[in-house]
Structure 1
Amino acid sequence: MKRFCLALDLVDDPALIAAYEKYHEQIWPEITASIKDARVLDLEIYRIGVRLFMILEVSDTFSFEEKAAMDAANPKVQEWETLMWNYQQALPSAKPGEKWLLMDKIFDLKAQ
C-alpha cells in the first residue's frame, strides 16, 4: 500500500465552503465507484480555513495517470469535477490546469 498527500484551496467564501462540505457529506455514488475502481483503498479530506488536505491510500498498482484517464472517460466524474471547481481554486504554485497538488513528505517518525 502507498500513501499520497495532496493539497488544494477553496474559494474564500463561507457560503461556498459550506456548500462544498455539504456535497462531501455524501458524494455521488458514481464518484465513490470511480475512486474505488482506480484502486484507491481509502481517501480522506481535511480542511483548515480555505486549505484542503487529501490523504490517499492506494494499492501498489495505483497510477495517477491511469486514474486521470479513467476520470477523463467518465462523464459523471467530469460533471462532478466541473461542479467542484465552482468551490475550488488552484494553489498559488499550481501550473495552468492543475488542481490537487501532490505534497512532498519531509518527515517520517518511523524513519527516525
Structure 2
Amino acid sequence: MITTRYAMALDLVDDPEMIAEYEKYHRQVAEEIKQSIRDAGVTVMDIYRFGNRLFMIMEVDATFSFERKAEMDAANPAVQVWEQLMWKYQQAIPGAKEGEKWVMMDQIFELN
C-alpha cells in the first residue's frame, strides 16, 4: 500500500494551564473524532509538543486529500464542535495564512 507522509506545525496559546487542558483533551479523543480522521484516509497521526509548539506527522492512503478531509469535516457536526473547542487553545504559527491552523512543513533531510 502506498502512503504519503505530511509533517505539520501549529502553536498553542503559551499558557501552561491551557496547554495542560489541551493535552488532557488529546488523551481522551472521542471515537467519533478518531473515526472521522480514519475515514478521511489518515492511517497514522502522531502529535508531539515542545513548549507551545506542536508537530504532527500524518501518513495517509491514496484516498486522502486535504480538500476531501475539509469537506468531510464541514459536514460532521461532532468534528465542528471539536475544531471550535481546539481553537480556544491554538494560535496560528508565525507565517501562517489568515485562518490557517496546521501549516505544512518542508522536508529538508531524509536518511536512506
Short-chain TM bin: over 0.9
Query: What TM-score do the two structures reach when normalised by structure 2?
Result: 0.96
Does the Cα contact within 8 Å between 2:41 and 2:64 map onto a contact in 1? yes
Query: 1:30: how far off?
Result: 1.2
Question: Which whole-Å CA distance do the structure 1 matches of 2:50 and 2:60 have between them?
Answer: 24
Q: Secondary structure at the match of 1:62?
A: coil
Question: Which whole-Å CA distance do the structure 2 matches of 1:59 and 1:103 have between them?
Answer: 19
Query: 1:60: how far off?
Result: 2.2
Aligned counterparts, 1:1-112, within 5 A: 1-110=3-112
Question: Which whole-Å CA distance do the structure 1 matches of 2:102 and 2:59 have between them?
Answer: 15
AA matched with 1:104: D
Structure 1 runs (4+) greater than 4 angstroms displaced = none
Question: Which whole-Å CA distance do the structure 2 matches of 1:90 and 1:31 have between them?
Answer: 22
Question: Which whole-Å CA distance do the structure 2 matches of 1:84 and 1:21 have between them?
Answer: 11
What do the CA deviations read for 1:18-77 (whole angstroms, capped 9, x no partner)? Answer: 000000001011110100100100100000000000000110231011001100111110
Question: Which whole-Å CA distance do the structure 2 matches of 1:68 and 1:44 have between them?
Answer: 19
Give identity over the alignment, percent: 65
Q: Secondary structure at the match of 2:27?
A: coil
Question: Which whole-Å CA distance do the structure 1 matches of 2:18 and 2:98 have between them?
Answer: 22
Q: Any stretches of 5+ residues in structure 2 without a counterpart?
A: none
Question: Which whole-Å CA distance do the structure 1 matches of 2:39 and 2:32 have between them?
Answer: 10
Q: Any stretches of 5+ residues in structure 1 without a counterpart?
A: none
What do the CA deviations read for 1:59-103 (whole angstroms, capped 9, x no partner)? Answer: 023101100110011111010000000000001101111000011
